[in-house]
């Protein structure tokens, strides 16, 4: 359903700090022309936490309107269940193909609370939900046992796994029911996860190198491990450099350099430091991105 390469889209801003709608449309075209399978607006890379409610929905609208082939998996999560329900319904009304829903952050719910949160969301919409597990941002890991419970809920279609816990990821892959998708939430672990049976990635790096990420996932999915590994090793320095400062600071800088908005995130995120540029720029030049 959302297998292959998905791009966690940045949200371009103009010089006044507003959503740059023209740049966002060009970004969608750039992604589709390079073969990306899934467009993911309003995730953490898209600065969803810094978007006002009307901006959040407008970004989804633009991506849905501009996309001609790729599926749209709209970020619609919140640490407040009622807000997540409202965002999810709105994303469905806009025409999103599915919802990416981050685990409740800051409040640190129990595993039962997480289960009930997603049960409520699934009961409120008729489009599939990908659960986003990123304990480094939320403060709480979703366990494999909880995922197996949630996999029984109609509408819970899979997970974007960014825990970095390979033992847990392998457990999910081993126990998941048929049709439950497992997507890498970490570019650097994509090849390893797909080698174990994962279905693809929701990628930060594919904002700036979508064709290469598509080649990586397609080779991995077809069993051409040697070709996939060559691309992985080529991109590995980029995967590291894009996290030299908090995501999405580095990728916003890269995309600004490519003409997609100013490259400046919203506070409390700050522009990429000179030290960050000194690390990132040589990698971009080596790859021919800049």
Active site residue 118: no
Report the alpha-carbon angle 248-250-256, nearest 5.
Answer: 95
Residue of 30, 65, 23, 41 whose CA lies nearest to 213? 30
Residue 252 near residue 225, CB atoms below 8 Å: no
Question: What's the DSSP call for residue 96?
Answer: -
Mapped onto helix, strand or coil, the DSSP state of residue 36 is coil
Per the residue annotation, which of 105, 118, 132, 253 is the catalytic one?
A: 132
Say how far apart CA 124 and CA 126 lie, in whole Å. Answer: 7
The phi and psi torsions of 221 (rounded to 5 degrees) equal: -65, -30
CB atoms within 10 A of CB 248: 25
Q: What is the DSSP string of 159-214?
A: EEE-S--HHHHHHHHHHPPTT-EEEES-GGGHHHHHHTT--EEEESGGGT-HHHHH
Active site residue 160: yes
Per the residue annotation, which of 71, 115, 118, 160 is the catalytic one?
A: 160
The alpha carbon dihedral of 143, 146, 150, 151 has a sign of: positive
* Overall size of the chain counted in residues: 290
Report the alpha-carbon angle 265-24-12, nearest 5.
Answer: 10
Residue of 34, 53, 32 whose CA lies nearest to 42? 53
Catalytic residues: 132, 160
């Amino acid at each position: 359903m959302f297998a292959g390469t998905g791009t966690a889209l940045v949200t371009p801003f103009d010089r006044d700090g507003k959503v740059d709608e023209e740049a966002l449309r060009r970004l969608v075209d750039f992604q589709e022309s390079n073969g990306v399978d899934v467009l993911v607006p309003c995730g953490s890379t898209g600065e969803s936490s810094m978007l006002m409610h009307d901006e959040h929905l407008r970004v989804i609208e633009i991506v849905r309107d501009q996309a001609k082939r790729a599926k749209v998996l709209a970020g619609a999560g919140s640490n407040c269940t009622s807000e997540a329900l409202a965002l999810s319904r709105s994303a469905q009304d806009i025409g999103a193909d599915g919802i990416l829903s981050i685990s409740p952050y800051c409040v640190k719910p129990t595993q039962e609370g997480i289960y009930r949160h997603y049960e409520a969301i699934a009961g409120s919409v008729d489009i599939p939900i990908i659960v986003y597990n990123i304990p480094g941002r939320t403060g709480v890991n979703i366990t494999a046992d909880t995922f197996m419970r949630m996999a029984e809920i109609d509408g819970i279609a899979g997970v974007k796994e960014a825990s970095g816990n390979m033992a847990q990821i392998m457990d999910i892959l081993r126990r998941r029911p048929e049709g439950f998708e497992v997507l890498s939430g970490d570019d650097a672990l994509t090849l390893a996860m797909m080698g174990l049976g994962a279905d693809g990635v929701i990628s930060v790096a594919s904002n700036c190198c979508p064709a290469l990420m598509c080649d990586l996932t397609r080779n991995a999915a077809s069993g051409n491990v040697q070709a996939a590994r060559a691309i992985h090793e080529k991109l590995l320095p980029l995967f590291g450099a894009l996290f030299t400062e908090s995501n999405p600071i580095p990728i916003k800088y890269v995309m600004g350099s490519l003409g997609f908005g100013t490259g400046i995130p919203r506070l409390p995120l700050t522009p990429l430091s000179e030290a960050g540029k000194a690390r990132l720029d040589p990698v971009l030049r080596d790859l021919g991105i800049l």
